[in-house]
Amino acid sequence: MTKVPVTIVCAGGGGVGKTTSSAALAVALARTGARTLIVTVDPARRLAHAMGVEITEVVQPAHVEPAVEGKLFALMPEPRRSTPTFARVLFEGRPDDLARVMRNPVYATMADAAAGMHEIVSLILVAKAVEEGDYDYLVIDTAPSRNALDFVSYPGRLAVLFEGRAVTWLGSMARNVAEDDRGPGLFASVEKRVESMFARILNPRVLKDLAQLFADLALVKDRFARFARMSERMLLGERTRYVLVAAPTGSAQADVSFLARKLSKLNHRPAALVLNRSDQAEPGWLGTLGHAASGEEALDAAVAQVRLEYATRKRAGDKLAALFARELAGVPQVRMPTLESPDPVEIVRALATLMEPHLSVLARP
């Protein structure tokens, strides 16, 4: 029996610090000694690089600080490789079938065009990793879009498709096509009325490739359905927490409201709201600097300017907090300040420290 980890799905608009907050939460959890996997559907290259993680389909140890060595792992699949990855994972251990699928022109076209393909592939990779990895926590950083939560229902929908009759039917059609390959009587019989309709719509060559593809997919449908069901359990199960991330910028607030409504349709409530870049007080060093500068006119002016900026940020943060206190009443808020560092990993580590006191809210099992 596979251990089902506590899953925390982070969602929010683009640029609010979702990837950074997810990584910080994962670091904070790993610091408690828990085996934690951070999954980034939309990898931030600079952050991945700084954590010593490659953008690839395999789980890798993340190197963030000595305290989390051996506890923190990352899975950051490359979005542009999702089509071959999908086939590789499903056809693991079946090299001949895999080669045939990869040669099938319909596969490439269909997979590239499929909405949410990368999310599906990422989820399958996660399901596989969870099966193999014995994790306590899974932190999923979703894609930066309002549709980010749609992926929650993909696995179930696909599992139904694969468990259903369509795959079997198309698979048997592939055999018919193969048997009738030469004759003009292809699809002519009354029993094959539906196939002939397809044949008229589609060119027979494409139809043959399509049918072959379904026949091939039918070979792995149990495997696919198992991964899909597992993803579904991971995303909608009792041990799943949704953390929404906002910042006092652009459409971030509207994005969170939208996502919260989507969640409620899935019968979930956000476990917490991270208000990133929502300073509550000016940093300590500013006061120290104020004292030191006192008397120096130019410095005093500079300190006053920075103070003003922090006061503005605090007001924006307060406003955001008040707004969500009304709109998402009862959802705990975790406010994170703006940090001054050019190093993305340093920001992650600092935010992790600030999140530690809030872990019971953010990641309660």
Nearer to ligand ADP, 171 or 344 (CB): 344
Check binding of 143 to ligand ADP (CB under 6 A).
Answer: no
CA distance 305 to 296: 14
Among 28, 29, 38, 44, contact with ligand ADP (rule: CB under 6 A): 44
Q: Greatest CA span in the chain, whole angstroms?
A: 98
> Tokens for 233?
């359990």
Among 109, 172, 333, 338, contact with ligand ADP (rule: CB under 6 A): 338
- Could you tell me the smallest distance in angstroms from the CB atom of residue 340 to Mg ion? 20
Work out whether strand 72-76 and strand 137-141 pair parallel, antiparallel, or are unpaired: unpaired
70 in Cβ contact with 55 (< 8 Å): no
Q: In the chain, which ranges are E strands? A: 6-12, 36-40, 56-61, 72-76, 137-141, 240-246, 272-275, 333-335
Among 30, 339, 352, 355, contact with ligand ADP (rule: CB under 6 A): 339
55 in Cβ contact with 45 (< 8 Å): yes
Nearer to Mg ion, 158 or 339 (CB): 339
- Could you tell me the smallest distance in angstroms from the CB atom of residue 140 to ligand ADP? 12
Residues in Cβ contact with 113 at an 8 Å cutoff, skipping those fewer than 6 apart? none
Residues within window 40-79 making contact with Mg ion, judged by CB under 5 A? 42
Nearer to ligand ADP, 16 or 256 (CB): 16
Residue window 341-360: x/- pattern of binding to ligand ADP, with contact defined by CB under 6 A: ---x--x---x---------
Total Cβ atoms within 10 A of residue 74: 28
Residues within window 232-291 making contact with ligand ADP, judged by CB under 6 A? 276-277
Among Mg ion, ligand ADP, none, residue 287 binds (CB under 5-8 Å by kind): none
Nearer to Mg ion, 40 or 240 (CB): 40
Residues in Cβ contact with 59 at an 8 Å cutoff, skipping those fewer than 6 apart? 37, 73, 74, 75, 129, 133
Residues within window 90-119 making contact with ligand ADP, judged by CB under 6 A? none
Among ligand ADP, Mg ion, none, residue 347 binds (CB under 5-8 Å by kind): ligand ADP
Which amino acid is present at 172? S
Among ligand ADP, Mg ion, none, residue 344 binds (CB under 5-8 Å by kind): ligand ADP
126 in Cβ contact with 132 (< 8 Å): no
The interface region with ligand ADP, picked from 17-25, 96-104, 310-318, 324-332 by CB under 6 A, is 17-25
Nearer to ligand ADP, 85 or 276 (CB): 276
3-state secondary structure of 164: coil
Residues within window 13-42 making contact with Mg ion, judged by CB under 5 A? 18-19, 42
Nearer to Mg ion, 42 or 216 (CB): 42
In degrees and rounded to multiples of 5, residue 9 shows phi and psi of: -100, 120
Alpha carbon 335 to its chain's center:
22
Nearer to ligand ADP, 44 or 363 (CB): 44
Nearer to ligand ADP, 250 or 287 (CB): 250
Nearer to ligand ADP, 218 or 245 (CB): 245
119 in Cβ contact with 82 (< 8 Å): no
Among 19, 85, 104, 122, contact with ligand ADP (rule: CB under 6 A): 19
- Could you tell me the smallest distance in angstroms from the CB atom of residue 287 to ligand ADP? 20
Residues in Cβ contact with 337 at an 8 Å cutoff, skipping those fewer than 6 apart? 277, 278, 279, 280, 283, 354
- In this chain, which residue has its C-beta nearest to Mg ion? 19
Binding residues with Mg ion: total (CB under 5 A): 3
**Residues of the shown chain interacting with ligand ADP in the complex, contacts defined by CB under 6 A:** 14-20, 44, 144, 276-277, 336, 338-339, 344, 347, 351
